[in-house]
Structure 1
């Protein structure tokens, strides 16, 4: 069994009475959902999320549309509580099942308490629930079984334990219980990092530079940046620091033809285009028209003009033949389990399993095989995932290299300048691996594969 010190375990009552919904003397404000009603709303949403029929953020958005009685000050309370439940689901459910009464309401109350909701919210309703809360907040996580303690499913714990050992299981499991920070990539086509930081400060938004990323800022708190004129004018994009680092590993030259093979909504495509100063050509490919449709207005807002989008049927679409052997850089950000992004997407650990991992491995091998055909002699293939599992990372790269002697592995430190590197990444390793517990970014993996000149 993996050891635990549980430094960030929230077995305590929060001291703050932040966030609202409260009128004078703790009474619900006019038109707001009642305190007990908020607990009920959280319980209903937990019940929906427990089915794991789709991404949590989409389920939450639909729920809010279906419940207009939840106002602008109530929704953040509900959203924070359900994300807390997703992170601590095994522990919360275990503690709720150990008591009498409706388990969903107990789960909702504990999630509200741990997410920092004000006491009049989570203490509303049954007194017996509050007596139960008083007991469970004093329980040590060290006394719980593996799943409730680490809050990771057994299949993921077993993989991490086998591949990295107990210390990594411990540090990773605790890191992904925390919410991720808010990072932005400065659009240097329009503004400098210093000027953006100053402009945000003028709006009351605090931010700090991210060491090793000259075009990035880490924003304090969770301000609604998407509603600002700065965002609408294309001054920045919200993008995790890890995503920015792997984008920089593409290291494009201004005259290059760069293919983003799995572009999605284009976050990395935009970062690459900015590095190219809107010169050369960037081709954004994806099998989803819907995702590429989201990219086009982002590109227009950013002032990006050196791109072309193409919806492909699959990685072997014959329309890709015209790019065979012509691309200077091919970025392959493959579909993966997303186990490096659990701070942002905690539901993924319940929506993936060993079977889906095996299916993704097959897809990853097929995509890297097909994408490699686009790389010109002396060009580069950059393989990327937002997973921490070796199954999706080193093992895919090693299998590809064994079958393709015309490619060789380039050390990531040969590509990124010393002042543009994550400070806590292993500089002795050939491939770049980022861990969320290092505090620099989400979990990412990247390998740079160079094709021979002839």
Structure 2
């Protein structure tokens, strides 16, 4: 398959030398392999988000120091990204395969050789064999590191070349993107401030408030972050937020606000005027939004926990909102660079459940849109099932709405450079290098 070996760690990397590691005995070095194996065992249950499980594990194991935790986390995320391939190769040895999985994860994540080569000689002989296996000789899941059902859907909907390029793109970690809070700072001023602090960032082409960090600096503890001058937000999320294009004084209803990343971006576009109603079915998610909002300096919003999309308390907004945003619950498969565990927590059955929910949300949200107002439908999925199919079905049953081409909403200098400008709906792919995978459609309601 063309491109299938790109980003494939089947080659033994140049190992880093570390005098402290060299001084450790084989027992303690093998202890790190054991720790990674233990965490892999825990995560393999896929009972919740991986990042939360990893955080809990570190809290439960205070003996892991600041030196070991990043190494363990890198290895575990490598295992999540390459799990199908790692599990396949680990079956070739003897004894508990989780130890071999941990060693491959440590190897491919760049851990020093003294760590991943510690332990049984049989495992090391197995490791020497498997690092020379070509990915092209493996089955679909082990080769692409995607669930077979999902890869086949991608290939069917967009062609095998796109499915291959996507599968390789999501094996790499996502960059760190920032959104300048223009209520408090300008892009130029924030860029200069971060540069003075030794944090290198570059402007994102086509995104006036977007900056992309070089590497993964710790920005959350900086004074400029604590004072609300910027938020961490993927470039794709910023672009779809801009598609809302609110006017000052508008009533905007964010139907699935979550932790409020897009809500804050929209509020800044409105220059802290008008009113935003941030809705969600999860009180926990909205609680996380409040300190972010306080830090941002925005006050043009309030939050409401709703039972579901048909909550009768929403009746008072029927036909009154200038903009309604539906960032609907979705498979999240466009964000696999950041959330690689999602591919193990989704299935054809969960996809069917999600699409039913998406259809219900867009139908109920549309009732809130005023004449000549807009409904913006958003997902971080790349599948047509959750995107074009939902929008087209909605338009067929709601003739009072029409599709507005996304290029009519975003100015030429404020668009993702690599997005297809001939498409009516905006689609972003992670392999294009601009953002995570996102989809958005702008639906305009006819005038009364």
Q: TM-score, normalised by structure 1?
A: 0.96
Q: CA RMSD in A?
A: 1.3
Q: Hey, what's the Cα distance between the residues in 1 that align with 2:410 and 2:15?
A: 43
Q: Hey, what's the Cα distance between the residues in 2 that align with 1:432 and 1:251?
A: 14
Deviations for 1:309-345, whole angstroms, at most 9, x for unmatched residues? 1110110111111111110000000000001000111
For residue 304 of structure 2, what is the aligned residue in structure 1? 310
| Native 8 Å contact 1:3 1:166 kept in 2 | no
| Native 8 Å contact 1:324 1:374 kept in 2 | yes
Query: Which of these residues, 177, 187, 193, is aligned with residue 183 of structure 1?
Result: 177
Q: Hey, what's the Cα distance between the residues in 2 that align with 1:200 and 1:73?
A: 26
Aligned counterparts, 1:28-39, within 5 A: 28=24, 34-39=28-33
Number of residue pairs matched by the alignment: 447
For residue 84 of structure 2, what is the aligned residue in structure 1? 90
SS in 2 for 1:405: coil
SS in 2 for 1:111: helix
SS in 2 for 1:277: coil
Deviations for 1:183-213, whole angstroms, at most 9, x for unmatched residues? 0101111111121111111221111000010
CA deviation after TM superposition for structure 1 residue 23, in Å = 4.6
Query: Which of these residues, 259, 262, 274, is aligned with residue 256 of structure 2?
Result: 262
Deviations for 1:411-437, whole angstroms, at most 9, x for unmatched residues? 000000000000010000000000010
For residue 12 of structure 2, what is the aligned residue in structure 1? 13
SS in 2 for 1:218: strand
Q: Hey, what's the Cα distance between the residues in 2 that align with 1:27 and 1:34?
A: 10
Aligned counterparts, 1:291-306, within 5 A: 291-306=285-300
Query: Which of these residues, 233, 237, 255, is aligned with residue 239 of structure 1?
Result: 233
| Native 8 Å contact 1:4 1:142 kept in 2 | no
For residue 126 of structure 1, what is the aligned residue in structure 2? 120
- Stretch of structure 1 that moved more, 199-208 or 307-316: 199-208
- Stretch of structure 1 that moved more, 434-443 or 99-108: 99-108
SS in 2 for 1:214: coil
Q: Hey, what's the Cα distance between the residues in 2 that align with 1:24 and 1:60?
A: 25
| Native 8 Å contact 1:336 1:387 kept in 2 | yes
CA deviation after TM superposition for structure 1 residue 16, in Å = 4.7
**Runs of 4+ in structure 1 displaced over 2 angstroms?**
2-5, 22-25
Q: Hey, what's the Cα distance between the residues in 2 that align with 1:16 and 1:382?
A: 49
Q: Hey, what's the Cα distance between the residues in 2 that align with 1:5 and 1:87?
A: 15
CA deviation after TM superposition for structure 1 residue 255, in Å = 1.1
Deviations for 1:75-111, whole angstroms, at most 9, x for unmatched residues? 1111110110010001001111012232111000100
Aligned counterparts, 1:435-446, within 5 A: 435-446=429-440
- Stretch of structure 1 that moved more, 429-438 or 187-196: 187-196
Q: Hey, what's the Cα distance between the residues in 1 that align with 2:151 and 2:323?
A: 35
For residue 148 of structure 2, what is the aligned residue in structure 1? 154
For residue 447 of structure 1, what is the aligned residue in structure 2? 441
Q: TM-score, normalised by structure 2?
A: 0.98
Q: Hey, what's the Cα distance between the residues in 1 that align with 2:15 and 2:325?
A: 45
Residues 254 and 60 from structure 1, CA distance in 2 versus in 1: closer, same or farther, beyond 3 angstroms? same
Aligned counterparts, 1:405-420, within 5 A: 405-420=399-414
For residue 279 of structure 1, what is the aligned residue in structure 2? 273
- Stretch of structure 1 that moved more, 329-338 or 218-227: 218-227
For residue 242 of structure 2, what is the aligned residue in structure 1? 248
Q: Hey, what's the Cα distance between the residues in 2 that align with 1:220 and 1:130?
A: 35
Q: Hey, what's the Cα distance between the residues in 2 that align with 1:111 and 1:237?
A: 31
For residue 26 of structure 1, what is the aligned residue in structure 2? 22
- Which residues of structure 2 form unaligned runs of 5+? none
Give yes or no for the alignment of 1:394 onto 2:388. Answer: yes
